[in-house]
Structure 1
Amino acid sequence: MAKLENTLQMLKDLTDAKGIPGNEKEPREVMSRYISPYADEVYTDNLGSLVAKKIGNKKGPHIMVAGHLDEVGFMVTRIDDNGYIYFQPVGGWWSQVMLAQRVTIMTRQGDLTGIIGSKPPHILPVDQRKKSVDIKDMFIDIGASSKEEAKEFGVTPGDAIVPYFEFTQMKNEKMLLAKAWDNRIGCAIAIEVLKQLKGEKHPNVVYGVGTVQEEVGLRGARTSANLINPDIAFGVDVGIAGDTPGISDRDASSKMGEGPQIILYDASMVSHKGLRDFVVDTAEEQEIPYQFDSLAGGGTDSGAIHLTHNGVPALSITIATRYIHSHAAMLHRDDFENAVRLIVEVIKRLDDKTVKEITFN
């Protein structure tokens, strides 16, 4: 691959990094490397979430911008006598996107390649061929001939298993295909927000955060928010793109390239009306495109953050993304850049007076 320009290289490094819930070391190190030049202080909480602090006015409100470091993956649970690996999903998976996909098993001896398999359809009864394969009936083939050989390769129960896919810029260069957009794009947004605030005056203290274990219950968001005690919070994540065949506007109305999504409602929270209105007014004033969306199921880190301490006005700002929770997803670079621009413009306006007005609006 030819050398990428700096932003694309950051996106590649973030998405190529391997990090399922509870095993976020690789993406945390990448995020730390990219965000540290723009932060006054970088540290972690005891669960492993990364916090980068950028001081504008040290007596001003605390503003939290949180993406999560983890991606959906699997965990080794056992090795059978023939050397096949059985596994537990870590995060949400739809079985139909899994079979025949390459994975990386992260062993203590190093990374190991495998492929997800199942009983071939050629030997199944006709009625079973029409059904999707249950995850419990899948296994991972690492080319081992026995349990002993698999152990010699370094495989141990508890090892992380990560989808394999390399960052790819499409022929339309604004279309970016990669694993783990959910949610390395949120981490990238946090990095770029601090980068664009470098040298700028802002009336607050900004925290760019990479949380852990979002995919298994918004866990790192809770611990990092308790550490930071934010006055305002933004959960930045992926959302559903509705611009593929078979999806109606009623199912999902957002389209890639038409601006970041402002989430009105999801299963984890009702967005804070005062903050939502302020963000929309800022977008209108600055002529930044945006879209509204709501999700009946699922949630983001905002759902945990807004319930910390005595409550935090919070809003989720997301990027319309195709094929999330699979080996590869696609998003539009303009949406990423406009999300950063919108959050930066909002932060510049969040002084004490404004935060108080938002909180009680």
Structure 2
Amino acid sequence: MDEKLQMLKALTDAKGIPGNEAEPRKVMEQYIKPFADNDGVTTDHLGSLIAKKTGKENGPKIMVAGHLDEVGFMITHIDDKGFLRFQTVGGWWSQVMLAQRVTIVTSKGDVTGVIGSKPPHVLSPEARKKPVEIKDMFIDVGATSKEEAESFGIRPGDQAVPYFEFTVMDNEDMLLAKAWDNRIGCAIAIDVLRELKGKDHPNVVYGVGTIQEEVGLRGAKTSAHYIQPDIGFGVDVGIAGDTPGTSEQDRHGTLGKGPQIVLYDASMISHKGLRDLVVKTAEDNDIPFQYESMPGGGTDSGNIHVTANGVPSLSITVPTRYIHSHAAILHRKDYEHAVELIVKVIEALDKDTVHRLTYGD
């Protein structure tokens, strides 16, 4: 496994739902720190990681943000028989949850569990036709009582994280893992700083790992207030529409065809001038790309762009299959092309270009 794959494995293996991002933050810091300025890695007061890389002092401030958190669950109650009730944290579709393995992170260490429900064998024929509601699910950790579950270290408030091993598939460009949403964005932020190491660039770049994106883009708000960027990029996963059953109308993203330039999502309308610059940069450098619109979702750019007096912002995403589940698939070259594209754009964002984008002259 090469160095990049080792980084991706470390990032996706890390356990961190919203409000519990310490473990992925530690991994991201380990990988991004060598490419940041001396003493250039810090956090805001909620825990978003901020790594600074200076090209030109007093140049425009460019923010490249991926989010550290992943969708998961929070334990809310332990019943008398030792079964755990939970709250989803982030968006979940009930049909992908049952019989899936989870890891409960406790003060005594990790505890393995599985999501269960009432057996279908005892349900009426009509009930069997309906998906099980999340409120009727529980986590089974093999305990026989509340006291035994508590002896494992489990307490209400503990996070439960999907379990899945990072896997390079037989097509070695296809990478299967949990938490691509959005550890791939964190990897892109790391690699952008890596590629800029030792290069001249006319600005100051901030590689950011935000917290609590899945529950309201919260870390994007606090970290953007900390940085006060002139230009913002949210880097995240996008929807892949290349699986069976997806209509041509809904087929926006295809694995292996390049990163997606987001035109619109529920949290923002992309800045037209910045979008035009990114598209031209991709075309001039023969970097493949796709367009994406996501009327039902948002990215960190949604909060970055309304910081202070406003920040010209754009989201760039990596098309990914099966997000918000235990395992998702993306294409390595889409990730690498996203890094290449963002670096090329950053190299073009001098003071005059940023002024023109901001004020239209």
> Do these two structures clear the TM 0.5 threshold for a shared fold by scoring above it?
yes
**1:202-281 residue pairs with structure 2 within 5 A?**
202-281=201-280
1:137 is matched with which residue? Answer: 136
Once the two structures are superposed, what CA deviation does each residue of 1:85-111 show, in whole Å capped at 9, x if it has no partner?
A: 000000000000000000000010110
The CA deviation string for residues 260-311 of structure 1, in whole angstroms up to 9 with x for no partner, is 0000000000000000000001001101000001011110000000011100
List gaps (5 residues or longer) in structure 1.
Answer: none
Show the counterpart of 1:11: 8
Deviation at 1:59, TM superposition (A): 1.1
Instruction: Give the counterpart letter for 2:5 in structure 1.
Output: L
**1:254 and 1:261 mapped to 2: Cα distance?**
7
Query: How far apart, CA to CA, are the structure 2 residues paired with 1:253 and 1:279?
Result: 18
CA deviation string 1:106-129 (max 9, x = no partner): 010110000000001111000010
Q: Distance in 1 between matches of 2:104 and 2:200?
A: 45
1:173 & 1:66 partners in 2: Cα distance? 27
In structure 2, distance between residues paired with 1:140 and 1:37: 40
**Percentage identity across paired residues of the two chains:** 71
- The answer to whether 1:298 aligns with 2:297 is yes
Matches of 2:253 and 2:151, distance apart in 1: 49
Structure 2: distance between partners of 1:236 and 1:243: 21
Confirm whether residue 21 of structure 1 aligns to residue 18 of structure 2: yes
- Which amino acid is the alignment partner of residue 336 of structure 1? Y
Residue 359 of structure 1 deviates from its aligned partner by 1.6
Report the alpha carbon displacement of residue 333 of structure 1 after superposing the two structures with TM: 0.3
Counterpart of 1:319, as a letter, is V
CA distance in 2, matches of 1:210, 1:263: 20
Taking only aligned residues, the RMSD between alpha carbons, in angstroms, comes to: 0.5
Unaligned runs of 5+ in 2: none
Superposed CA deviations along residues 212-267 of structure 1, whole A, max 9, x for unmatched, are 00000000000000000000000000000010000012123210000000000000
SS in 2 for 1:255: coil
In the alignment, structure 1 residue 39 sits paired with structure 2 residue 36: yes
Query: One-letter code of the match for 2:160?
Result: I
State the partner residue of 1:355: 354
Q: Displaced runs of 4+ in structure 1, greater than 3 A? A: none
Question: Quick one: which amino acid aligns to residue 99 of structure 2?
Answer: A
| C-alpha separation in 2, matches of 1:119 and 1:68 | 35
Q: Please give the secondary structure, in 1, of the residue aligned with 2:131.
A: coil
- What is the match of residue 284 of structure 1? 283
Helix, strand or coil at the partner of 1:250: helix
Q: Give a deviation string over 1:176-203, Cα, whole Å, max 9, x none.
A: 0000000000000000000000011000
Letter in 2 for 1:358: L
Quick one: distance in 2 between partners of 1:151 and 1:180?
28
SS at match of 1:23: coil
Cα distance in 2, alignment partners of residues 187 and 252 from structure 1: 26
Instruction: Give the partner amino acid of 1:89.
Output: T
Q: How many residues align?
A: 358
Farther off after superposition, 243-252 or 137-146: 243-252
* Distance of 1:51 and 1:206 partners within structure 2: 10
Q: Alignment partner of 1:238: what SS?
A: strand
